[in-house]
């Protein structure tokens, strides 16, 4: 039994060591990726259904190592978050997205603005408000064209401070969205105190529409609540006409998903936006 115990320990230890190594390796590669310009942004349209409404874009981070497959954000953002690397990466994302948005506006694109994901760590940086102000000043993007998406969980830990940060961001003139709504145990008592403009309904609830009764109930209640709190709503992960139909009936304000478009490289996004205006 003793032998077995030791072997078990060795086994665990080896597995742990290799996991730690994988982790370190990925961290090093990610660090280099930032320095070498291997990070890029794709843009997914957010579509409203009112005629003539300009199209908005959510900036989504991509990592393209040379001669290798693209690494999806789900594989490296959690690690970047853990190690703190998300702060310089997020900073890069914010700058790159604002620079792109300004270029599109300057080019005369019928464009409603860009949404940027802020990680928990970034949102909690003491100087986040100055950072956003700096980026707007440096890129020349008018603040109303920038929206920041913050996850529910980031907002619910330390609500007092979150409210103060959101207020300060709002004073800059940027708009604020709560991301992945429904996945983070929001307290409704807190929700009404948060100065937000928009609520994004997580795709896990949209997926079950129109047939799943629970998802239908959740989405119905969420949209009704958002409206009564004065937030507009975006449904994420809209893939079918049937889902769109239900969401429209419930009074959702805008949609994002493969039914309209996947995330696109900047040129493709601009072409897409032009086509929508022409059509």
Binding-site ranges for ligand C2E (CB under 6 A): 44, 60-61, 72-74, 77, 90, 93, 117, 119, 179-180, 203, 236-239, 256-258, 263
Among ligand C2E, Ca ion, none, what does residue 93 contact (CB within 5–8 Å per kind)?
ligand C2E
Q: Decide whether 215 or 236 has the Cβ nearer to Ca ion.
A: 236
3-state secondary structure 31-64: HHHHHHCCEEEEEEEEEECCCCCCEEEEEEEEEC
Which distant-in-sequence residues (6+ apart) come within 8 Å of 56 by Cβ?
45, 46, 111, 112, 113, 114, 115, 147, 254
Q: How far is the CB of 8 from ligand C2E (least distance, A)?
A: 36
Among candidates 148, 86, 139, 142, which has minimal Cα distance to 116? 148
Taking CB within 5 to 8 Å according to partner kind, which of Ca ion, ligand C2E, none is near residue 77? Answer: ligand C2E
> Residue from 44, 100, 117, 175 that binds Ca ion (CB under 5 A)?
117
Q: Contact between 100 and Ca ion (CB under 5 A)?
A: no
Q: Contacts with Ca ion in 131-170 (CB under 5 A)?
A: 149
Identify whether the C-beta of residue 147 lies closer than 8 Å to the C-beta of residue 175. yes
Residues 231-250 that bind Ca ion (CB under 5 A): 236
CB of 103 to ligand C2E, least distance (A): 18
Nearest-angstrom CA–CA distance, 218 and 216: 5
Q: How is residue 72 annotated by DSSP?
A: P
- Which residues of this chain interact with Ca ion, rule CB under 5 A? 117, 149, 179-180, 236
């Amino acid at each position: 039994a003793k032998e077995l115990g030791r072997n078990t320990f060795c086994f665990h230890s080896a597995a742990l060591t290799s996991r730690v190594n994988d982790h370190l390796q990925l961290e090093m590669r990610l660090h280099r990726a930032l320095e070498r310009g291997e990070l890029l942004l794709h843009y997914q349209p957010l579509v409203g259904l009112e005629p003539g409404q300009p199209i908005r874009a959510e900036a989504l981070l991509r990592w393209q190592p040379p001669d290798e497959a693209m690494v999806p954000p789900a594989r490296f953002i959690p690690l970047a978050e853990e190690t703190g690397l998300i702060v310089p990466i997020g900073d890069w994302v914010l700058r790159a997205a604002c620079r792109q948005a300004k270029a599109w506006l300057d080019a005369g694109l019928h464009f409603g603005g860009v949404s940027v994901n802020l990680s928990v760590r970034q949102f909690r940086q003491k100087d986040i408000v100055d950072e956003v102000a700096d980026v707007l000043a440096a890129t020349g993007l008018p603040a109303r064209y920038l929206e920041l998406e913050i996850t529910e969980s980031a907002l619910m830990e330390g609500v007092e401070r979150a409210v103060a940060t959101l207020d300060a961001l709002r004073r800059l003139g940027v708009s604020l969205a709560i991301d992945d709504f429904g996945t983070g145990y929001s307290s409704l008592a807190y929700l009404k105190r948060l100065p937000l403009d928009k609520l994004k309904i997580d795709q896990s609830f949209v997926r079950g529409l129109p047939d799943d009764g629970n998802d239908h109930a959740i989405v119905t209640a969420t949209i009704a609540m958002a409206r009564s709190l004065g937030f507009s709503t975006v449904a994420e992960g809209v893939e079918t006409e049937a889902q769109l139909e239900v969401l429209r009936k419930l009074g959702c304000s805008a949609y994002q998903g493969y039914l309209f478009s996947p995330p696109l490289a900047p040129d493709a996004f601009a072409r897409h936006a032009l086509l929508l205006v022409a059509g």
